[in-house]
Chain A
């Protein structure tokens, strides 16, 4: 059985047992763990998977709680209605905040979340209509089919029903078309966008998703306590949610539950009279002089120190450690399925690609200097030249990775200069990278399946509800086929990071093929391959050409290039040095001079 499913069943059994058998105290704790898990799940997706740190989740919890508190006490609205009103309101606020702050990169985003987290907190505390710092009382209890959920034991089931549903949805989402795209965000936007992922839009979607989970948690909280004040929605709580995600292991949905449990229990046990506190205090009093152990605030000290020690020991969080103990999952076989809708190789335009006086300057350094060349349909063209000649820069100018300083790039008769990479990808240009860009922790299969992003249509909602299985099966079957064709069938389920560098380049090619591109750009595909592997790669590229694909490749291995390509473009210092058939290029003294370093007239060539 999958460790995930095993853990899930164990968790459900344990959870069901708590309210039936445990004393009230444990039920209360269980309620809080459930509430926190829901928020932490959103953070796992937002921070752990998509790489966007947020300190402001507590404020979204507050939005959910206050919306319901205000509407139910002031207007007597049904709490079930306010859940959706709260979600809609939170979504609107998250969209607005996300629109502004998600454009920030690096450390601006986490700091901005602190800023709006604090602002919303002070707003809750200072608005008269929300009861100021004293808060609002008299929030009605929830009712399900006439059954009033006043009792914490009953409420417990409601909280955990939501928590498990959130867990299920988030887990589904991660294992889907949008999930792969979200996971790819951390590998650099360049990579995600090369497969048609609109990274900015996707980040916003994830941000809203996390905010909605927080809002649900807030709504549950408000009707559990039936009282709200600003305190639990402040920046300190926001920080604590992040603690939970990071300590639990922000890369996995289980990390969220683990972290929420651990932090909640730790705080409980560290309270005066708590088991851990008693142990620590007795221990310290036994070794230290009398009266030196503090009487108050000791829990804060210990909480801080324990967290530091924990993170020094396990910087990736606790879940990776747990998952090593669990039995390894055996991946299910991939049943054959109908291929995904193919992309029509659009009507012939010749030349397919026309680079016209393309220029790229970095400050004063001109990396590509008014370069012009064209590629005809069904041609394999090699772009060669010494290191630093501007070949990779040229690639990035074609794929949209870098903006042109001047000049034009025309693909199938239309200019693609200035278009973002994900739009260029959707026109039918696939690529691999000079420095391999895979998600190392993701399986080869998932990495390759990402390539088919543009050929699928499943959105976040359908993925979360697991309505995407048919399309998913087709994607996986096709990915498996592409991997097999590239000779890596044995590594289907291995983590991409565990392959040799040369094989990782081949995985990139398989991924690019999944997009069914018209033009394939390969950046040093043969680097790190052994002789036989190079021959297999050459055979693969020839058969792709036979099927109608056009290929532009940068390569250093002359044997490989000379035997494979139809035509060569030679670059040196950002300019085109020569262009022509391989044999002619080989004989060109200018090329030999530039490419071979030419310190002295060569002797034994």
Chain B
């Protein structure tokens, strides 16, 4: 392997790693606030790519159907909840939030689809549609189980992953999509060719990470999420409800996943079921961060991208074995160096 190949592999690794890093952050966020190991994050990535691809072809993407169906279920659950608590006055407001808003997004996309609008508009529409799925999913699948054990939440996550896989095939079909690159330009630094596309991916990831950093450091809502992650009881005592925090967390996390989907589209062909393996890589990054540290998770994801890129060059058949075996020592190191508390400190 000469230097130029190494440089190419490094560039690939960093580009993929940047995408995995976004996923890793989403997974850490979801786990920290809700204790859910968010297995179906990969489906959200795939839905992102497929939605953008549909819009680019002038078709109404399957996301619309999914939004409508989930909004109706969530709406029904909200109505039932309000009636059970004896608060029928609150029904209109809850319906406007849980059904009205998603339906408005769906309607906007139906109207937008045939126009083949500017790429930026399509990207915004894609982000809106996929992001709206996040809180709906939380409301339907996870909120009723807020008190359940991590194990049960994990099993539910896997079940949701199955359901979304099936729904993905139903709404998006079996064919894969690859979106055209945002830019095909390249330039050279010394002997190394750098593609603008890669730079865009890395820059977008960095910007998102910065935005998250500011949100959690400065905004009251960001602090409320951190507070919930640190101390659930304490958060409730200042008036941050777990379901509010959960819905907000899933909104942010699905926004990150939608970005991943948009960014990964030009790199690889995405099918309805491509998300799982992608999210698994993000997972490995998140695990390296102990599902708790954001910077370590991002660094871990970058490492995964690089390992994957180089091992695909040396031993492509064993690529996955190498990636997944390498994390065991990392896990061990994390486990032994992290201080654990007994249940009542």
Contacts and interface: CB of A to CB of B under 8 A. Distances in A.
Of listed B151, B291, B318, B334, residue having the most chain A CB within 10 A: B151
Interface in B126-154: 141, 144-145, 148-152, 154
Given A107-B291, A307-B155, A311-B156, A101 B328 contact: yes
B150 to A, nearest CB: 7
A322 interface: no
A126 interface: yes
B162 A303 contact: yes
B260 interface: no
Given A110-B37, A300-B165, 15 more contacts: A101-B332, A103-B332, A111-B283, A114-B283, A115-B324, A115-B325, A243-B158, A297-B166, A297-B170, A300-B163, A304-B162, A304-B165, A307-B156, A308-B141, A315-B145
Contacts of B148: 311, 315
Interface of A: 47, 53, 100-101, 103-108, 110-112, 114-116, 118-119, 122-123, 126, 188-190, 239, 242-243, 246-247, 250, 294, 296-305, 307-308, 311-312, 315, 435
B336 interface: yes
Contacts of A101: 328, 331-332
A277 B316 CA distance: 40
B158 A115 contact: no
Given A106-B340, A126-B318, A312-B145, A296 B169 contact: yes
A324 to B, nearest CB: 19
A308 B169 contact: no
Contacts of A123: 321
Nearest to A105: B340
B267 interface: no
Nearest to A120: B321
17 contacts: A104-B335, A106-B335, A107-B37, A108-B334, A110-B151, A111-B287, A112-B328, A112-B331, A114-B283, A118-B280, A190-B342, A296-B169, A300-B165, A303-B166, A304-B166, A311-B145, A311-B155
B160 interface: yes
Given A188-B343, A304-B160, A116 B328 contact: yes
A230 to B, nearest CB: 12
Interface size class of B (residues with CB under 8 A): 35 or more
Of listed B37, B152, B155, residue having the most chain A CB within 10 A: B155
Of listed A294, A298, A299, A304, residue having the most chain B CB within 10 A: A304
B151 A53 contact: yes
A187 to B, nearest CB: 9
Interface string B7-38: 00000000000000000000000010000010
Interface of B: 31, 37, 141, 144-145, 148-152, 154-156, 158-167, 169-170, 280, 283-284, 287, 290-291, 317-318, 320-321, 324-325, 327-328, 331-332, 334-336, 340, 342-344
B163 A301 contact: yes
Contacts of B290: 108
**Which A-B residue pairs are the 6 nearest by beta carbons?**
A304-B163, A301-B166, A300-B166, A304-B162, A307-B159, A294-B170
B331 A104 contact: yes
B320 A304 contact: no
A207 B325 CA distance: 19
Contact of A308 (B150, B151, B159, B284): B159
Contacts of A305: 159, 163
Nearest to A246: B155
Nearest to A303: B162
Contacts of B284: 115
Given A112-B331, A115-B328, A303-B162, A103 B320 contact: no
Contacts of A188: 342-343
A90 B166 CA distance: 35
Given A103-B336, A119-B325, A123-B321, A297 B165 contact: yes
Contact of A115 (B163, B170, B327): B327
Given A297-B166, A301-B163, A105 B335 contact: yes
A100 B169 contact: no
Nearest to B327: A115
Given A115-B327, A297-B165, A311 B159 contact: yes
A435 B291 CA distance: 29
A246 B145 CA distance: 15
B315 to A, nearest CB: 9
A189 B343 CA distance: 10
Nearest to A292: B65
Nearest to A316: B152
B321 A119 contact: yes
Nearest to A434: B344
Contacts of B343: 188
Contacts of B335: 103-106, 108
Contacts of B287: 108, 111
Contacts of A110: 37, 151, 154
Contacts of A311: 145, 148, 152, 155-156, 159
Contacts of B149: 315
Contacts of A190: 342
Given A311-B155, A312-B145, A118 B164 contact: no
Contacts of A53: 151, 154
Contact of B331 (A108, A189, A301, A303): A108
A297 B169 contact: yes
Contacts of A304: 159-166
A308 B167 contact: no
A215 B172 CA distance: 40
A297 B162 CA distance: 10
A451 B321 CA distance: 45
A239 B167 contact: no
Contacts of A296: 169-170
A295 to B, nearest CB: 9
Nearest to A126: B317
Nearest to B148: A315
Of listed A101, A107, A126, residue having the most chain B CB within 10 A: A107
A293 to B, nearest CB: 9
Nearest to B162: A304
A304 B148 CA distance: 18
